[in-house]
Amino acid sequence: MNSKIENKLNIQQQLILKHESFLNKVSDSLNGSFLIEKITQEYTNGYQKKEKLKHRNISWNASEGIKLKSKYSSNDIKNVKHLDFGAGTPPFLRGPYTTMYCNKKWTIRQYAGFSTAEESNKFYKKNLKAGQSGLSVAFDLPTHRGYDSNHPRVSGDVGKAGVAIDSVEDMERLFDGIDLAKTSVSMTMNGAILPIMAFFIVVAKRKKIALSKISGTIQNDILKEFMVRNTYIYPPKPSMRIVSDIFKYTSKNMPKFNSISVSGYHMLEAGASADLEIAYTLSDGLEYVRTGLQAGLKIDDFAPRLSFFWGVGMNFFTEIAKIRAARILWAEIMQNFHPENPKSMMLRSHCQTSGWSLIAQNPQNNITRTTIEAIAATIAGTQSLHTNALDEAMSLPTENSAKIARDTQLFLQEQTDICQTIDPFGGSYYLEILTQEILQKAKKHIKEIEKAGGMSKAIEKGIPKLKIEASAIKRQASIDNAKNLIIGLNCFQDNEYEDIEILDINNKLVQKTQIKKLNKIKKNRNEQLVNKYLNKLSKGCLSDKINLLSLAIEAAENKATLGEISMACEKVFGRYEANTIINSGIYAMEQNKNSQFIIAQKLTEKFKQKYGRRPRILTAKLGQDGHDRGVKIIATSFADIGFDVDIAPLFQTPKEIAKQAIENDVHIIGISSLAGGHKTLIPSLIQQLKVLGNSSIMIIAGGIIPKKDYQYLKNKGVRKIFGPGTIVVEAALDILNELI
């Protein structure tokens, strides 16, 4: 790296600390912290300032709707009720364990998986050798959605956003040479949880490892899939039945294994504010607790094995306060079930730094962002942590960027004193006020969910989804009008930065390899036995008294594939399809004084006068990519600008999108790609439009698309590409100017 770029990065790191982490909002933000005040007292050794500096107290509003001040004193916390709470005892404000990191440091658990099981296995072994203390498996989208790699709907997704797992044999390759009795394994899986858990258990049996010795976590948080992430398969009711069956099987056979990790991370990434994230995550947790009790389990049989998964963004003190508040709230919620074991009230956390906060411009600055977020997670008292790599705004991480991300945690553990003190910022007047305010806001949201009949009913009514989307739209609008500053994006912009290496997965080669493996498995198995156990599984879906995981294990032992096990259940339960709603008016409300927004509205009127109708856009996702934050923001903001907007259903093929676009007579198709399938799926869409006799529709693309792929897509017929960090109004103006 040349010295000119180095100097710019040094300056930008300071700007990130000042503007993005909100550290400039409150004067002496750690005033009152028990640790800081003790150290300060020792250093000053009785010295008293002769003259106090005057400070003008300025109030400001946080994105959670909380009114805050720029300075706090002991007078502000007189009515704070939680100050005397400690660590290791309910309500666990200062941490779930009495000694916290003084006795055991947090687990470095990097989320990873790509391409084939063999490639991911090599990556895991390198990470474990380099100091990583646990594994966290990322599966590809076809696996999440219950499809084998040879299914016609998954051609662009195999091996792209995670590892492709079609069979027990794939799972065996994934953990080859890894001792499952000694290595804690976390698996992010929800929709296709039955075959994945079945494969994992069968592999453990083949390795002759007692299930009672296996430690780790399965996410198993299906409710949040219906709100934000969308990797569901079955409708909510049968999905919750599967959650219950996982609880029952693991509580009986796998006492060291966490049967669920209730996730707020994906809500944060979808745009939820801190109060919404903890409120909806804890409401999900409450729904799962009731599900376990309805299944006949006692609260102390499964509640101690529940864990939670939080996202950690750039608002430094808010993120710390959020996790502290969540621990208090969960203890209060669980107290209502009268557990005898205090651990049933304990909220244990895994955290991941935000992927959404990373930007493609000056990607080296993302190391600073991730470090700030990692410090917040550890100060808040997480039990394990994943730190995102600097290149994840553009692609899967390379080996080098993944090492930097992992080493960030090793640096915090070994070269700072974070692990020497429990709740080091505890007592800070600002932090304690913020903890209380977030707690109270979250309580109101939880009451709203309970009034609706619980989270399952609230999801049916669309309450959490619409509120999270509204929060995301407000956040985007605040970035677009520079109320929220992002260094290198909407302020202090600089185009002089070095390109970085990008990991590129050969999707077609991975799919070809997986199909070859599938064909070999099917050729060397007893089809009669496979069909017998798949039929048994389908029949089991008709009775709540039969444990579906036990039946899935039998099918897996007889070489049934992931797609076959999922389809056996789908025959009975059906496949869920979500309704799509545009959350209009919010973006316009935030942008009404933005001159560019007003110009864009005038251009849509000009287009209407010229052509007799408004410009019409179809916004869509292709393949199995269900991350819809971007496509929803584009839909609602473009509608507010004056476009006629159609939103395609999720999980469409190129042929289905082409047909819908022609039927709706649109001028533009906007494709959002966040899972790496753009080089396969978008050219296929353009080809389908040609087959159907319409090549005049403007194709635009956006999302996580590496710059090196831009020319390839343009050569295939894509007119405009809008990468990470695009200002929405600027994109709209660019499109309108070309249309007119």
Q: Does residue 423 have an active-site annotation? A: no
Contact 504, 391 (CB under 8 A): no
Beta strand 257-258 with 260-263 is unpaired
Sequential DSSP letters for 332-357: HHHHTT--SSGGGG---EEEEE-STT
The H or E element containing residue 272 is none
Instruction: Please list, in sequence order, all residues whose beta carbon lies within 8 angstroms of the beta carbon of residue 241, skipping any fewer than 6 positions away.
Output: 544, 548
What residues have CB less than 8 Å from 652, skipping those under 6 apart?
Answer: 620, 621, 622, 660
Is 627 marked active-site? yes
Which residue is catalytic, options 224, 627, 667, 679? 627
Distance CA 494, CA 473 (A): 26
The stretches of 150-192 forming alpha helices (DSSP H) are 168-174
DSSP structural state of residue 535: H
**Residue tagged active-site, from 111, 430, 533, 587:** 111
Provide the sign of the torsion angle of the four alpha carbons 321, 323, 329, 335, taken in this order: negative
Select which of 284, 391, 423, 625 is catalytic: 625
Q: What is the rounded CA–CA span in Å between residue 81 and residue 332?
A: 14
Q: What span, in angstroms and rounded, lies between the C-alpha atoms of 341 and 653?
A: 50
Please count the helices (runs of H) and the strands (runs of E) in the chain: 28, 16
Residue type, 566: S
Question: What tokens does 467 get?
Answer: 């509120």
Name the active-site residue from 232, 265, 430, 587: 265
Q: How far is CA 480 from CA 41, 302, 588, 704, 728, in A?
A: 44, 45, 12, 19, 7
Pairwise CA distance, residues 89 & 97, whole Å: 8
Q: Is 625 part of the annotated catalytic residue set?
A: yes
3-state SS, residue 404: helix
* DSSP-assigned letter for residue 677: -
- Other residues' Cβ atoms within 10 Å of the Cβ of residue 717: 17
350 catalytic? Reply is no
579's tokens? 């309704």
What's the start-to-end Cα distance of the chain, in Å? 43
H or E element at residue 615: none
Per annotation, catalytic residue among 105, 160, 621, 679:
621
* Residue 415 CB contacts under 8 Å (≥ 6 apart), including other chains: none
Residues 6+ apart with CB under 8 A from 84: none
Question: What are the distances in angstroms from CA 10 to CA 187, 240, 362, 409?
Answer: 37, 50, 12, 21
Residue 740 identity (one-letter amino acid): I
Active-site residue identified among 8, 105, 160, 266: 266
101 catalytic, yes or no? no
HEC letters along 553-591 = HHHHHCCCCHHHHHHHHHHHHCCCCCCCCCCCCHHHHHH
- Is 43 one of the annotated active-site residues of the chain? no
Active site members: 111, 265-266, 621, 625, 627
